[in-house]
C-alpha cells in the first residue's frame, strides 16, 4: 500500500489504542494499593504541529530554493503531489522531520517503563514527582506472567501491601517523603508528559514497537502512534516497527519461533524469509505486526544485567 492508498483508507483503518485485529495478548494489569481504585494506561495527544504536512514539505524545499512565497506555493500543491513528495522524503535526509512536534500525556504507566522512556534523549519530559506527592495510596502495574497466576498474584499483591504500609509508617514516624520513597516499587504507577518531534518518534517506534521491547512499552507506543495517525494519517509509514520499515530484522540472532512476525521477514543470509520461502513485503510485515502482539523475555546475562532494557 502506498501513501495515496493509505490516506484514502485511513478513516477506516485507524482506531486509537487498538492492535488492528487479532486475539488480544496478555497485558500488564494495573492494581490499586489503596481506596482510589485501579487506573488504566492512557495516552493523550495534548498538542501537535498544525499544517504538519505543508511545513514538512516546505522545510525540505528550502534546501533548493528560499523564496518569500514558498510556503504558500507548497500549500497550493494538489494532494497527489504532496504525497509523492512525502514518499520521497521517507527515504532521504530526515532533518526536516524535526519541525513537526507532538506533546503526549501518558498516564497509568509504571516507573519501570518511564525509566526506559527517558533513555530516548531527543525528547523533553515532565514527570510526577514522588518527592512532592503523598504516595501512601499508590496504584501499581502487575506484569502478565504474575497476573495470570493466582499464586504469584497473591504473593505480589501482599508484597505491595507491605511496601505501602512501610512507606506510610516511615512518614508517620517523621521521615521526609523524599526519603520514605526509597521503599516504593519500580512498578508504581506514574504519569509523564513527553514532547518530541517526528524524527525522534520515528526512531523510537522502530525499536519500541518490536516484540523485543517490554509489553508495556509496546502498548504505550502503539497508542502514541494511533494518536498521531488520528491527526496526521499520512505519516503512517514514518511510524512503523523496524522490520516493517526496512524489511529486515534488527535482531538477526533473535529466535524466529519467538516472534510472530519474523517468519515472513527477509533474511539477508539466505535470500529467503527467516521462516523459509518468499519474504513478505513491508506492507505484509506491517499487516502481520498489527494483528499480533507478543512480548519476548530478556536473557539474563550476569548479576541482574539483561540483554535488553
Residue 226: predicted pLDDT: 97
> How sure is the predictor about 100, in pLDDT bands with cuts at 50, 70 and 90?
very high
Residue 15: predicted pLDDT: 34
How many whole angstroms from its chain centre is CA 215?
Answer: 10
Q: Is 244 helix (H, G, I), strand (E, B) or coil?
A: helix
Q: Is 40 helix (H, G, I), strand (E, B) or coil?
A: coil
Residue 307: predicted pLDDT: 54
Residue 74: predicted pLDDT: 94
Cα separation, 189 vs 33, in Å, equals 10
> How sure is the predictor about 304, in pLDDT bands with cuts at 50, 70 and 90?
low
Grid cell of 193 as nine digits? 508528559
> Pick the residue with more confidence: 172 or 304?
172
Residue 171: predicted pLDDT: 95
- The CATH 3.30.1360.170 domain(s) of the chain lie at 3-49+100-239
The residues that are catalytic are 208
Q: Report the pLDDT averaged over residues 153-170.
A: 96
Q: Worst-scoring range by mean pLDDT, 55-69, 84-98, 231-245?
A: 55-69
Interval 250-259: pLDDT, tens: 999 999 999 9
Secondary structure, 3-state, 256-309: HHHCCCHHHCEECCCCEECCCCCCCCHHHHHHHHHHCCCCCCCCEEECCEECCC
How many H-runs (helices) and E-runs (strands) does the chain carry?
A: 12, 10
Residue 173 has pLDDT above 90, yes or no: yes
Cα separation, 47 vs 50, in Å, equals 9
> Pick the residue with more confidence: 35 or 269?
269
Residue 12: predicted pLDDT: 36
Distances (CA, A) of 202 to 187, 197, 208, 237, 271: 27, 9, 10, 9, 27
> How sure is the predictor about 23, in pLDDT bands with cuts at 50, 70 and 90?
very low
> How sure is the predictor about 62, in pLDDT bands with cuts at 50, 70 and 90?
confident
Residue 128: predicted pLDDT: 86
Q: Report the pLDDT averaged over residues 139-161.
A: 94
pTM for the model stands at 0.84
Within 10 A of 177 (CB to CB), how many other CB atoms are there? 17
- The pLDDT mean for the chain works out to 87
Residue 82: predicted pLDDT: 95
Using a 10 angstrom Cβ sphere, with 0-12 exposed, 13-18 middle and 19 or more buried, the burial of residue 3 is buried
Cα separation, 37 vs 55, in Å, equals 44
CATH architecture type of domain 3-49+100-239: 2-Layer Sandwich (3.30)
Q: Report the pLDDT averaged over residues 205-230.
A: 96
Residue 132: predicted pLDDT: 80
How many whole angstroms from its chain centre is CA 114?
Answer: 11
Q: Worst-scoring range by mean pLDDT, 66-70, 80-84, 153-157?
A: 66-70
Q: Report the pLDDT averaged over residues 1-15.
A: 42
* Residue 153: HSE in the Cβ half-sphere, 13 Å Cα cutoff: 13
Amino acid at each position: 500500500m502506498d501513501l495515496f492508498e493509505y490516506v484514502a483508507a485511513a478513516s477506516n483503518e485507524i482506531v486509537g489504542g487498538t492492535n488492528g485485529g487479532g486475539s488480544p495478548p496478555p497485558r500488564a494489569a494495573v492494581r490499586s494499593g489503596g481506596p482510589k481504585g485501579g487506573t488504566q494506561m492512557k495516552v493523550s495527544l495534548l498538542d501537535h504541529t498544525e499544517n504538519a504536512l505543508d511545513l514538512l514539505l516546505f522545510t525540505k524545499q528550502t534546501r533548493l530554493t528560499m523564496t518569500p512565497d514558498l510556503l504558500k506555493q507548497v500549500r497550493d500543491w494538489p494532494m497527489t503531489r504532496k504525497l509523492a513528495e512525502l514518499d520521497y522524503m521517507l527515504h532521504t535526509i530526515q532533518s526536516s522531520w524535526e519541525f513537526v512536534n507532538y506533546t503526549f500525556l501518558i498516564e497509568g504507566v509504571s516507573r519501570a517503563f518511564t525509566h526506559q522512556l527517558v533513555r530516548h534523549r531527543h525528547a523533553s519530559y515532565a514527570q510526577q514527582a514522588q518527592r512532592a506527592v503523598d504516595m501512601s495510596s499508590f496504584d501499581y502495574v502487575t506484569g502478565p506472567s504474575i497476573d495470570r497466576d493466582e499464586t504469584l498474584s497473591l504473593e505480589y499483591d501482599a508484597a505491595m501491601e507491605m511496601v505501602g504500609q512501610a512507606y506510610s509508617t516511615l512518614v508517620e514516624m517523621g521521615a521526609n517523603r523524599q526519603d520514605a520513597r526509597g521503599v516504593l516499587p519500580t512498578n508504581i504507577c506514574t504519569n509523564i508528559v513527553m514532547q518530541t518531534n517526528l524524527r525522534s518518534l520515528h526512531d523510537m517506534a522502530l525499536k519500541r514497537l518490536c516484540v523485543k521491547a517490554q509489553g508495556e512499552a509496546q502498548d504505550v507506543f502503539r497508542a502514541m502512534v494511533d494518536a498521531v495517525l488520528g491527526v496526521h494519517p499520512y505519516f503512517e509509514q514514518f511510524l512503523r516497527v523496524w522490520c516493517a520499515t526496512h524489511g529486515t530484522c534488527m535482531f538477526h540472532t533473535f529466535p524466529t519461533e519467538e516472534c510472530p512476525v519474523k517468519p515472513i521477514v527477509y533474511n539477508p543470509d539466505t535470500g529467503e524469509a527467516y521462516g523459509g520461502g518468499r519474504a513478505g513485503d513491508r506492507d505484509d510485515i506491517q499487516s502481520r505486526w498489527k494483528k499480533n502482539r507478543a512480548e519476548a523475555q530478556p536473557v539474563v546475562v550476569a548479576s541482574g544485567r539483561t540483554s535488553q532494557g
